[in-house]
Amino acid sequence: MKTLRRVAVLGAGTMGSRIAAHFANAGFPVILLDLPSEGDRNALVKAGIDAARKQKPVAFFTPESAALIRPGNFEDDLPAVAECQWIIEAVAENLEIKRALYEKLAAHRRPGTVLSTNTSGIPLARLAESLNPETRRCFLGTHFFNPPRYLHLCELIPGPETDPDLLAAVASFLDIQLGKGVVPCKDTPNFIANRLGSFLGGTTQWLTADEGLSFEEVDALTGPLIGFPKSASYRLMDIVGLDIWKHVGANLHEMAPEDPWRDRFLMPDFVNDMIARGWIGEKRGQGFYKREGKEILVLDRGTMEYRPQAKPRWPGVEMAREIPDLSERLRTLVAGKDRPAEFLWKMFRDYLLYAASLTPEISDRIVEMDRAMRWGYAHTFGPFELWDALGVRAVAERAASEGQAVPETVQRMLQSGARSFYDWSVSGWRYFDLAAGSGYCELEPRPGVLALPDVKRARGVVRSNSAASLVDLGDGVLCLEFHSKMNVVGTDTMEIAEGALAEAERGFAALVVANSGEHFSAGVNLALVLLAAQEGEWDELDAAVRRFQNLNMALKYAARPVVAAPFGMALGGGCEIALHAARVVASAELYAGLVETGAGLVPAGGGCKEMVLRGVDLKQAFETIGMAKVSSSAAEARALGFLGSTDAVTMNPERLLEDARQAALALAPRHSPGQPRTDISVAGESGYALLKTGVYLAHEAGYISAHDAVIGEKLAYVLAGGRLTTGQKVSEQYLLDLEREAFLSLCGQPKTQERMAHLLKTGKPLRN
């Protein structure tokens, strides 16, 4: 594959425009083409880009990223593909439309240019038939999942004559530059994820009617409760579009005539009825759900009328929901005797039996099938991981007792004495070769990918308590990992963190702060702060704030370099920890912010201090902190001042830990601890007056409450450095003292305590 300087995306619909947006996120110029329109010839493409801008969640890392996309149309601008090293076709799912476009491309595409299709189901062999021999060697399938920015999966499908070296180069680019989880697929109907996902969706719809459940009941059962996304089943169909779902299912039904389960791909009567009425989901304003004002109504399957949602109440489900371990929770759920248990058992049973029956038809290994469902549908477990969680023998025996045919491959596996599809050995993970039935095979390492749970299995931990651990990453790098709920920082976390610095100095070259889970850290334990404030334990609270400040300063001036690897939410104290690292290697999906004002407080762990000494514009810093702004990406985090010029961004979240480890190793030989600064220039009296005036005007205009104004004035005082002379030099400790004093004084305010209590109870800020 040639060095990529520019990419062309053909088709500016939902998928094409979002694929173009993600290439732009990665910094690559894009030519986006579609059919010409009357008047503005590029109106279709501009509409696609605009839709990507307005999408929620937004398709672009920053609004400025859209400038990398150049709009055009097939009639006027097709010759521009000669500038591109990769052409991605994402037009309508119609064989003849695609072939006609390929024919026009032939006159402009340069030899060696990659040509890939985003088809979700048309066989690559049929698409390749019309291509010349040279183009066939450069032709492949790159099936992105929507939205491409957020769903990790890209299925990679070779054509009949694709050059293996080119295939490998594209896979590497997708992985490293675009941050995708690449799954190699066979050229079978709908490849892997949509074959399994369509079956699971069809089974869910069939069981909805069979078990007499409402749509909101099914969504309550098929979301986070079982390790599926919040969109669950019917919300997901509304997002995708019922018409699209039906098209994919009909295509599968037609192209898999030998599949004994193929009728599951056909839509039930209630879905066909909805499509006939035009109720096809969010793009038409109504589907299984419909918003009326602030209320979201649900469709009643019996009356075909919308009604308020009823909160399902099942004692067994509520008890299971409290079980933190997902595997144990799933086993508990299917062991019950109520309707939810029957529904979930039958759904899991059929899904697992179907997945096993497709090996080796759609994949030679179970590994790719599990990755496809985890990365494409955001399931916590793929089908075989789910089967392991439920118990392989238990599922097989129960299914057989109900008259279900257990695939011979699974029967042979159990007869061999194997008890699980995956197994951890001294050399790492192994998977059972279900297709060959020849026992376990070692799961090959993925260069550049390091997972904390696997490191801990292999090496154990250096030190640990309930909130944090120290883990040896190898090559002289120690890792500080948080594992409290939401990775919040409390007393136990600080104890291990303080020990990490001493441990690193004794026997390691560098320290990395990196966590598992969905988020880096949701901040300091607010419940403990509120309790101390309510009890009037001011000395204890003062000591706790000092301890956190001292920890962050110790991280900043540690004898060994400290690299933070934030991802997901890095809020409040979590953001402050990253701000004090010698280097940050951030996930591209970083939602960082100093959000303490939402709890009626100001940052007190050095967040304000870092914004001042980094030279962030005073007004910008005040607005960022005062409005509790949270970045929508690492790119925006840099613009807000949370990332510095030497900090790095990793597109692929699976590579974040190893990238941070390598960054730490690179820093180690030339690291010098430095010492706290005493030369920080502050805005002083004039800056404080300016910010205070802005707070006063905002309050007078009714934009903020009286207590907002109190918080705003405290924040202004800290950021300005108090009532000093403009430009006067102060120390880091001086600014930390201002932060702490403001924080403690606000903790004593009843309205701040109300805000903290409301935030802890609802997860939402209170304006009082």
Strand duo 583-587 + 648-650: pairing: parallel
Residues 188, 123: Cα–Cα separation, whole Å = 7
In this predicted model, what pLDDT tens digit does every residue of 708-735 receive, in sequence order? Answer: 999 999 999 999 999 999 999 999 999 9
Phi and psi of 148, rounded to 5°?
Answer: -55, -30
Which residue intervals of the chain bear CATH 1.10.1040.50? 189-312
Tokens 């006027």 correspond to what residue?
76
Tell me the CATH number of domain 7-184, given options 3.40.50.1100, 3.40.50.720, 3.40.50.1000, 3.40.50.300: 3.40.50.720
Q: Which two tokens stand for residue 283?
A: 């793009």
Chain region(s) in the chain for CATH 3.40.50.720: 7-184
Parts of the chain belonging to CATH 1.10.1040.10: 319-444
* pLDDT > 90? residue 437: no
* Bond prior to 360 in cis (omega within 30° of 0): yes
pLDDT band at 286 (very low <50, low <70, confident <90, very high): very high
Structure token digits, residue 332: 């508990």
- The whole-angstrom separation of Cα 554 and Cα 481 is 17
Instruction: Look up residue 557 and give its DSSP letter.
Output: T
Please tell me the predicted confidence (pLDDT) of residue 150.
95
Q: CA-based angle 109:115:119, to the nearest 5? A: 135
Q: Could you tell me the CATH superfamily of domain 319-444?
A: N-(1-d-carboxylethyl)-l-norvaline Dehydrogenase; domain 2 (1.10.1040.10)
CB neighbour burial string for 647-670, b if at least 16 within 10 angstroms, e if fewer? bbbbbbbbbbbbbbbbbbbebbee
Report the pLDDT value the prediction gives residue 294, as an integer from 0 to 100: 87
Q: What is the pLDDT of residue 605?
A: 98
- Would the pLDDT of 233 be above 90? yes
Predicted local distance difference test score (pLDDT) of residue 1: 76
In terms of DSSP bridges, do strands 153-158 and 181-184 run parallel, antiparallel, or are they unpaired? parallel
Q: How far apart are CA 295 and CA 338, in angstroms?
A: 30
**What CATH code would you report for 452-595+630-670?**
3.90.226.10
Mean pLDDT of 570-581: 98
Question: What is the torsion angle, in degrees rounded to the nearest 10, for the CA atoms of residue 666, residue 668, residue 674 and residue 680?
Answer: 30
Q: How many helices (H) and strands (E) does the chain have?
A: 32, 25
Average pLDDT of span 635-644: 97
Q: Is the pLDDT of residue 84 over 90?
A: yes
Mean pLDDT within 111-117: 97
The conformation of residue 153, written as its DSSP 8-state character, comes to E
| CA–CA distance, 372 with 197 (Å, rounded to integer) | 10
According to DSSP H, which parts of 187-241 are helical? 193-210, 215-221, 234-240
Per-residue DSSP letter, 289: E
pLDDT in tens, 648-696: 999 999 999 999 999 999 999 999 999 999 999 999 999 999 999 999 9
- Given this structure, which CATH class describes domain 189-312? mainly alpha
- Region 486-506: mean pLDDT is 96
Question: What is the β-pairing status of strands 86-89 and 422-425?
Answer: unpaired
**H or E element, residue 482:** strand 477-482
Residue extent(s) of CATH 3.90.226.10 domains in the chain? 452-595+630-670
Q: What is the mean pLDDT of the chain?
A: 96
Query: What CA–CA distance (Å, rounded) separates 259 from 272?
Result: 22
DSSP 8-class letter at 39:
S
pLDDT tens-digit map of 124-136: 999 999 999 999 9
Please check the confidence at residue 102 and state whether its pLDDT lies above 90: yes
Residue 368 has pLDDT above 90, yes or no: yes
Please tell me the distance from the alpha carbon of residue 755 to that of residue 732, in angstroms, as a whole number. Answer: 29
DSSP-derived letter for residue 286 is B
Q: Is the pLDDT of residue 510 over 90?
A: yes
CA distances (Å), 728 to each of 152, 316, 611, 721, in order? Answer: 49, 64, 17, 9
* Torsion angles phi and psi, residue 599, rounded to 5: -105, 10
In three-state secondary structure terms, 517 is coil
φ/ψ region of 570 (left if φ > 0, alpha if ψ in -120 to 50, else beta) reads beta
State residue 121's pLDDT score: 84
CB-CB contact of 73 with 42 (8 Å): yes
**Residue 181 to residue 376: CA distance in whole angstroms:** 9
The phi, psi pair for 684, rounded to 5°, reads 65, -150
Instruction: Point out which residues pair with 156 in neighbouring strands.
Output: 142, 184
Buried-exposed string 276-294: b where 16+ CB fall within 10 A, e elsewhere = eeebbbbeeebbbbbeeee
Q: What is the pLDDT of residue 426?
A: 83
CA-to-CA separations, 131 to 84, 614, 644, in angstroms, rounded: 18, 56, 48
